[in-house]
Chains A and B, each alone.
Chain A
Amino acid sequence: MSQGTVDSRRTRLKRPAKRPAKPRRGSLRTVPPAGAAGRATFVHSLRAEWIRLRTMRATLYVVVATLVAGAGLATLNGSSAGDEYAAMSAADRLMFDPLATSLKGVILAQLTLALLGGLAITSEYGSRTIVSTLTAVPRRGRVVVAKAVVLTAIALPTGMLTTLGGFLAGQSVLESSGAPYVALGDPGAWRAVLGGGLFLTLAAVLGLAAGIMIRSTTATVTTLFATTLIVPALAPSFPGTLANWTTKFWPPSAGGQIVTGYRDPDLLNPWPGFTVMGGCVVVLLTAAFLTFRRRDA
């Protein structure tokens, strides 16, 4: 570089000695720079994808919307369920599921987090920054895995807080409205809260896999709406066996059983259902990984 550049670089190097740089929130400061004999590694890609995801405007909106969906829907459902419970027949009361009532927000939260996962890659295709991303890191597998790891690092705590917040808000409203309620120590409660958080994380990764394969933001958003909300809602109106099969095995429906307390014999149990969702995400992410590596950028 020019004389000027060399000079300015020298002054920049001196700076920390006089004025130690404040550690920035959210920066992985411990990563060593690639020196003259250095090599760009997976850890560098992790740091880059962390910067990209946290400087994407949608990320904050999604996290807030997910938490609000979790606690807000739990509160609304809890208070209306209290009144409904009072009017229920004895048979209906047997099927009343206070656990699932407080975790209804998971249905919306799986969509918001799936959208975040999708946007993590479709924003790159939409803005064409994928070109500079892949010029800097031509090893594409590394880019996909780094995106998935960083996405998980955001989706997992968000998912856990969403289910925990929903559970606590929902159960306290149920309690005050006189309906049955459960405490965290009751059987199945932690399974629903932690398993629900994991389910939401899987939904985010599902969104990423869909986004990688579809590339267009609009098409990805539409697909994720259909996958997480529309198909489960329409399944009962499908013809005969297809309705039964879809209701039972459609991955988001099956996975959603993780937050239920009442056992419907026509549906999968919580962990088998969760496994169906997990398996589906593994398959889709693998397909996305292979597609991304082979396709022209």
Chain B
Amino acid sequence: MIEVHGLTKRYGEVLAVNDLNFSVRPGEVTGFLGPNGAGKSTTMRMILGLDAPTSGTATVGGRPVAEHPVPLKAVGALLDASAVLSSRSAYHHLLALAASNGLPRSRVDTVLEEVGLSNVARRAAGTYSLGMRQRLGIAGALLGDPPVLVLDEPLNGLDPEGIVWIRRLMRRMAAEGRAVMMSSHLMSEVELTVDRLVVVGRGRLIADTGMAEFIASVASQEVVVRTPQAVPFAGRLAAVGAAVRTTAGDGNDDGTGLVVTGLEAARIGALAAATGVELHELAPRQTSLEEAFMELTRDSVEYTTEAEAA
């Protein structure tokens, strides 16, 4: 369990993190999202005791990380996957971490096996691909078999197989009752992996909610309709108060469909049946996490191109 109360970090004039309050609960994977520069990494570093908050508190398991007798047994973290000394082997990197917490040597072998690096563990870590370094970083996070995991961009540099692996790993960790906090920019992956979302923008909390509620909060309730009698049917829909446009310009759609808002799919179907209109498609459009995220964080994007801003 991670609890963050009034957490604030100021760098000179800039409030990198501004009065954040949220918690990461056991048994769930919590996605920690926000545009670049939103203060995600700073927040994670404060939770881990690496940076001191200007004000506020962050606790893991009810107390600051530094007050745990065996820190690696309280929280495991992956903050920067490329952080390995290139001449040192993965084995010795992990062995030093394990030794510093008095963990037995066997834990090193166990986590190396868990992340699939056993065969290359004696090689200098500098020869590793980014994906292998991510796995090594995960191994370090798992060393103490901790009830809390903090993973910053754990999917970076992983191939599709690696992404599926880490998704399953995080789901398993949550199923075992651990609290998992992960940040990522890959919205489609987050959508598949997490239970809850904590969204920040410009250092402030934007949302702290379940995944479904988050998407529903911005869902536009659009329904896509395809029919050979598009023009007359559009007129009928408009007559009962629905807003109608064509799908032209929606991605690579051919533009033959109608996008209806303000009328549920069932009502549209009933109207079609009553007026004898032939329907080829009647589909409520799912808002993706990506769309919802873009919508909610539009005002808090720190770096944007002029065209986007206009």
Binding site for B on A (CB under 8 A): 1-2, 4-5, 8-9, 12-13, 31-34, 38-41, 44-45, 47-49, 51-52, 55-57, 123-124, 127-129, 131-139, 294, 296-297
* Shortest CB distance B298–A (Å): 31
Mostly helix, strand, loop or mixed at chain A's interface? helix
Residues in chain B near residue A31, CB distance under 8 A? 99, 102
CB neighbours (8 Å) of B101 from chain A are 34, 40, 44, 136-137
Q: Is the CB of B87 within 8 A of A57?
A: yes
A36 vs B99: C-alpha distance in the bound complex, in angstroms?
A: 15
Whether the Cβ atoms of A135 and B87 lie closer than 8 Å is no
B49 near A: Cβ within 8 Å? Answer: yes
**Contact between A34 and B103, CB atoms less than 8 A apart:** yes
- Give the residue of A12, A40, A129 whose beta carbon is less than 8 angstroms from that of B109: A12
With a cutoff of 8 Å between Cβ atoms, the chain A residues found around residue B107 in the complex are 9
B245 neighbours in A (Cβ, 8 Å): none
Identify 21 residue pairs between A and B in the complex whose beta-carbon atoms are under 8 Å apart, listed by A's number: A1-B142, A2-B172, A2-B176, A8-B110, A34-B103, A38-B102, A40-B100, A40-B101, A44-B102, A48-B99, A52-B88, A56-B87, A127-B86, A128-B83, A134-B49, A134-B50, A135-B48, A138-B65, A138-B66, A296-B50, A297-B45
Name A137's contact: one of B87, B100, B104, B145 (CB within 8 Å): B100
> A13 to B106, alpha carbons, bound, how many Å?
8
Known: A135-B71, A296-B52. A48 touches B100 (CB 8 A): yes
Using a Cβ cutoff of 8 Å, how many contacts connect chains A and B?
A: 131
Asked whether B291 is an interface residue with its Cβ less than 8 Å from the other chain, the reply is no
CA distance A133 to B93 in the complex (A): 10
Q: Which residues of B contact A133 (CB under 8 A)?
A: 96-97, 100
Q: Is B170 an interface residue (CB 8 A)?
A: no
Contact of B219 with A by CB under 8 A: no
Q: Of A1, A38, A47, which is within 8 A of B145 by CB?
A: A1
Which B residues, 35 to 73, have Cβ-Cβ distances below 8 Å to chain A? 45, 48-52, 65-66, 69-72
- What residues on A are CB-neighbors of B65 within 8 Å? 135, 138
In the complex, the answer to whether B96 meets A48 with C-beta atoms within 8 Å is yes
State whether A51 and B96 are in contact (beta carbons under 8 Å apart), knowing that A8-B113, A44-B101 are contacts in the complex.
Answer: yes
